Structure 1
Amino acid sequence: MQIQRKTLAEEVAERLIDGISSDEYSIGEKLPTEPELMKIYGVGRSSIREAIKILSIKGVLNVHQGVGTFVVSKNIQESLESQINKAETEEVQEVRSLLDSKIAAKAAIHHSEEELKTIKKYLDLRAQLAEENRALECYEADINFHVSIAEACGNTLLKDIYKVASKSILKSFEISNNNSTESFKVSQKIHTELFQAIADKNVEKAALIAQQIVDRVY
């Protein structure tokens, strides 16, 4: 499963929320027309419509067909994704410490053969890209390896939380590894051991190795 990056519509929705929070758009006020919003935010009509749909679902906007789109509330519960995006690296690492061993243990029980192939694909890709010193691609392959384990864990909520957190983990890799793949070469062996533990359905070993990876004990 590839890392999902923020869409243009999501970015526009966030900018609209910022405008509403700062009273650029007041409660009861009609938003500019679609062509005007397209010009303001530099995106196409479909992105504007999707952004408005997102905020309508969240109860911030109300669309009156033939009349316009109106601001009806400033109260929006901050999404898990937004909270994780704002979190410090240490906080995200703590989330990983709580999740990874549990996810690995459950993946050892619940994985399908197809899911196991996907995990192995990213494990091999991680090794190849590390050896070729293709840093950013290597970091993404590592994240996708762990996301694939989450996909195989059999718990939709755990999977979704991990997928959201994975975006911040990727950012932390980009910051802390200085465009290097050396630590990924070193940790390839223990990642291979994690894959094997999951493949062997060894629950305790998978959980232990996953925790060692998070704690960088290798």
Structure 2
Amino acid sequence: MPLATTRRTGLVDQVIEQMRAAITSGEWPMGGRIPTEPELVSALGVGRNTVREAVRALAHAGLLEVRQGDGTFVRATSELSGALRRLCGTELREVLQVRRTLEVEAARLAATARTDAELTQLTALLAARDEALGARDWSRLIDTDTAFHQLLVRCSHNRLLAELYDGLTETVAASVAASVDRDVPPAEHISHTGLLDAIRDRDPDRAGAEAGGFLDELLQRHAAPAEPAD
């Protein structure tokens, strides 16, 4: 019996590692639904119970989310990112506060660490974002705005910071969507031109101030309701 238990545990661990690799490599993208249980059984050559144990373990670690009747989805790229996501919750103000904590330092680091190729990519993404805003293409605006911030954080060249932020991709996208005011003219929307200029000029103080400034503006828009007077 001990030998059988050891072999079984080892098999589950192997499946967990294979599934984790599919998540971290991007084979299973953030927010996407992973293959069904029968598909995993066939692809991995193991039994249903082994797959279920592996899914349960990764869900407990925060990498997967099981939605009854809908499937299992990628929730984070690492245990650390999953923990951060649970901690920040789903309240918009909490998400914006966490974003500010991460993005201000990322902008400061990116101003000195970014490469010329990354600057070109940032410039192209911001142009696509502003084009979508001008066309009132809200879906594309959300996608390009989220991608711009993700790339900016990666430009910090701090792997831990980037991993934490990548684990919040869905949450960040949701906060972008919730912050888009479809009733105001495009010219009155928040601009990231100043942020890009600071990174282009390799000015970390200005980059940090620009990143904090637009997030502070969003936080003011979504201020917590005042406590009732006694």
Shared fold (TM-score greater than 0.5)? yes
Question: Taking structure 1 as reference, are residues 214 and 49 closer, same or farther at Cα in structure 2, changes over 3 Å only?
Answer: farther
Deviation for aligned residue 1:107: 0.1
Deviation for aligned residue 1:87: 3.0
1:9 to 11, 34, 38: 34
Counterpart position of 2:195: 194
Unaligned runs of 5+ in 2: 1-25, 63-78, 221-230
Counterpart position of 1:174: 177
- Structural mapping, 1:62-141, within 5 Å: 69-70=49-50, 76-78=60-62, 79=79, 80-81=81-82, 84=85, 86-141=89-144
Distance in 2 (CA, whole Å) between partners of 1:130 and 1:122 is 12
Matched, 1:143 2:146: yes
Distance in 1 (CA, whole Å) between partners of 2:203 and 2:107 is 10
Distance in 2 (CA, whole Å) between partners of 1:119 and 1:209 is 15
Q: What per-residue deviation string (whole Å, max 9, x for no partner) do you get for residues 76-107 of structure 1?
A: 33343376275322221111121111000000
Distance in 2 (CA, whole Å) between partners of 1:158 and 1:184 is 31
* 1:210 counterpart letter in structure 2: A
* 1:186 counterpart letter in structure 2: E
Question: Taking structure 1 as reference, are residues 192 and 177 closer, same or farther at Cα in structure 2, changes over 3 Å only?
Answer: closer
Question: Taking structure 1 as reference, are residues 99 and 72 closer, same or farther at Cα in structure 2, changes over 3 Å only?
Answer: closer
> Percent same amino acid among aligned pairs?
18
Distance in 2 (CA, whole Å) between partners of 1:104 and 1:90 is 20
Give the secondary-structure state (helix, strand or coil) at the position aligned to 1:204: helix
Q: Which stretch of the first structure deviates more once superposed, 89-98 or 68-77?
A: 68-77
CA RMSD of aligned residues (A): 3.2
2:165 to 162, 166, 190: 162
Q: What per-residue deviation string (whole Å, max 9, x for no partner) do you get for residues 146-189 of structure 1?
A: 111111101011111112223212113334536x2847643454
* 1:6 counterpart letter in structure 2: G
Q: What per-residue deviation string (whole Å, max 9, x for no partner) do you get for residues 110-144 of structure 1?
A: 00011001110111011101000100111111111
Question: Taking structure 1 as reference, are residues 102 and 150 closer, same or farther at Cα in structure 2, changes over 3 Å only?
Answer: same
Question: Taking structure 1 as reference, are residues 105 and 184 closer, same or farther at Cα in structure 2, changes over 3 Å only?
Answer: farther
Distance in 1 (CA, whole Å) between partners of 2:186 and 2:216 is 14
Give the secondary-structure state (helix, strand or coil) at the position aligned to 1:137: helix
Q: 2:114·2:155 contact (CA, 8 Å) conserved in 1?
A: yes
Distance in 2 (CA, whole Å) between partners of 1:140 and 1:69 is 37
Give the secondary-structure state (helix, strand or coil) at the position aligned to 2:195: helix
* 2:199 counterpart letter in structure 1: I
* 2:103 counterpart letter in structure 1: D
* 2:204 counterpart letter in structure 1: V
Q: 2:30·2:169 contact (CA, 8 Å) conserved in 1?
A: no
